[in-house]
Amino acid sequence: MYCIRFPVKRLVNPFTNPCLILLCSYLFAAFFPVNNFNDSFLKIVQFAVNDLVIVHVVFATIRNPRDLKVLIGYLSVAMLVSLGYGVFSYVTASNPVVDFEIALAGSQTEEMKMLSYMNTERGIRLQSLFMSPFVFSLTIVSYLYMILIIHFYFKSFFKKYSRYIVYLILIIALSVFLSNSRSTILPFVIVTPLLLLRMPERYRTIITVGCVLVVLIVPLVMDKLTIITSVFDEQSKSVAGSSLSMRGAQYAIALNSFYEAPLIGHGLGYTSILRTSNYDLYGAESVWIPILVEQGIVGVILYLLFFTGLIAVDKFRGKRLIVMSIPVYYLLLVTMNGAVSISLYIVFLTLVVLYKLFFYYDVWRKHKIRS
């Protein structure tokens, strides 16, 4: 019914080729005898539908500026609800939604994984309605960057709400820090100031005020700094997760396997086999480990080509340095924690929204010139 309503020619969009490149890299790696092809193929189909196809459907259903404005409105409402619920869950030290999901968990392993985000030795890790603090942070940060870019290029779009954008920045920054996750905080600290520096003067003021607040608050939260500093401390055991030495050990194991099949890797699923004889790989902390092991250098190149293709579309010309803040945050995050690779659609969706905005703006400008 969908294809009947929307002709095939309208389904074609500039993001199709990057998505095909990514899919081909996974399909190629699924044809190796070390895996059960049926299992690998089903996982690829699930990934394609959840992370890629659904965004293409959204792209095709945005037929005019009104559709786009409605979509951004719904996304904004969803983000505000998530942020509000996040505050509630942190203040009350409870999360009824996640508790319900835990009750429905199909296995003890799945249940323990979800519980680990709720109450750890780091304290409560803010995750709101999401099943991990990583996905929550990725979602709200991608939304924040999208809103900042929209406000920068289309000031009239949020004319009624422009004065609230500063508060949005602050509450999202606070939520990211309350996630108590190094893999979400460090990329945010790196990317956000660089993005704000390219924004209007008032956003640069936020950086100045933020730096002053950091200097004043640091003495009060010195114990929390171990969450970040432990990444670089080889002897640190105060915070659960991988220290620099553990990450180094994981990469050493992955590279040894990579050298055995450097070009095309060992095929999808080989990382799980490798874990059975290398305990240090349990909880591997980077998306690059399975890519190197399973898909080799070809997989790495195609993975990077996918992200390059997303920001290389024509409507981002002259704006790529700002637009790339969204995929750069994602790549930094998954470099430190590969568990969020399932949330690729969040990055993809925000880029589609930005593309449509620039597309309709160009159409409006050309029409204005002709008239």
Report which of 296, 352, 295 is spatially closest to residue 327, judged by C-alpha positions: 352
Cβ count near 363 (within 10 Å): 12
CA pair distance 371, 363, nearest whole angstrom: 12
Q: How confident is residue 1, by pLDDT bands cut at 50, 70 and 90?
A: very low
Q: What is the pLDDT of residues 138-177, one digit of tens each?
A: 999 999 999 888 888 877 666 666 677 778 888 888 888 8
Q: How confident is residue 232, by pLDDT bands cut at 50, 70 and 90?
A: very low
- Burial of 217 (C-beta count, 10 Å sphere; 0-12/13-18/19+): exposed
Cβ count near 61 (within 10 Å): 13
Q: Mean pLDDT, to the nearest integer, of 93-99?
A: 82
Residue 351, phi then psi, degrees to nearest 5: -70, -35
* Per-residue pLDDT at 8: 41
Q: Mean pLDDT, to the nearest integer, of 54-83?
A: 90
Cβ count near 93 (within 10 Å): 10
Query: Any idea which of 166-170, 207-211, 236-240 has the lowest mean pLDDT?
Result: 236-240
* Per-residue pLDDT at 307: 93
Contacts 24+ apart (CB under 8 A), 163-171: 166/202, 166/206, 168/144, 169/144, 169/203, 169/206, 171/83
Q: Which two tokens stand for residue 305?
A: 């080509």
**Euclidean distance between the first and the last CA atom of the chain, given in angstroms as a whole number:** 38
Residue 123, phi then psi, degrees to nearest 5: 100, -170
Which residues fall within 8 angstroms of residue 51, CB to CB, at 6 or more apart? 342, 343, 344, 345, 348
Are 30 and 40 in contact, with CB atoms under 8 Å apart?
yes
**Looking at per-residue confidence, does 356 or 204 come out higher?**
356
**Looking at per-residue confidence, does 189 or 39 come out higher?**
189
Q: How confident is residue 220, by pLDDT bands cut at 50, 70 and 90?
A: very low
| pTM, full prediction | 0.82
Length of the chain in terms of residues written: 371
Average pLDDT of every residue of the chain: 76
* Per-residue pLDDT at 108: 55
- Where helices occur in the chain by DSSP H, the ranges are 2-5, 8-11, 16-29, 37-47, 54-61, 65-92, 96-103, 108-118, 133-153, 165-178, 182-196, 201-217, 226-229, 244-260, 270-275, 288-311, 320-323, 325-336, 344-370
Q: How confident is residue 9, by pLDDT bands cut at 50, 70 and 90?
A: very low
Report which of 353, 314, 306, 362 is spatially closest to residue 16, judged by C-alpha positions: 306
CA pair distance 331, 325, nearest whole angstrom: 10
On the question of pLDDT at 111 being above 60, the answer is: no
Q: Is the CA virtual torsion 170, 175, 177, 178 positive or negative? A: positive
In angstroms, the Cα distances linking 330 to 5, 39, 307, 339, 341 are 34, 27, 10, 12, 9
On the question of pLDDT at 5 being above 60, the answer is: no
* Per-residue pLDDT at 301: 92
DSSP annotation of 120 reads B
Q: Mean pLDDT, to the nearest integer, of 112-130?
A: 65
* Per-residue pLDDT at 140: 93
Q: Mean pLDDT, to the nearest integer, of 60-69?
A: 88
On the question of pLDDT at 290 being above 70, the answer is: yes
CA pair distance 310, 107, nearest whole angstrom: 37
Task: Provide the percentage of residues in the chain whose pLDDT is more than 90.
Answer: 15
On the question of pLDDT at 3 being above 60, the answer is: no
Q: What is the pLDDT of residues 300-339, one digit of tens each?
A: 999 999 999 999 998 888 888 889 999 999 999 988 876 5
Q: How many Å separate Cα 252 from the centre of its chain?
A: 26
Q: How confident is residue 249, by pLDDT bands cut at 50, 70 and 90?
A: confident
Task: Provide the percentage of residues in the chain whose pLDDT is more than 70.
Answer: 69
DSSP annotation of 360 reads H
Are 266 and 34 in contact, with CB atoms under 8 Å apart?
yes
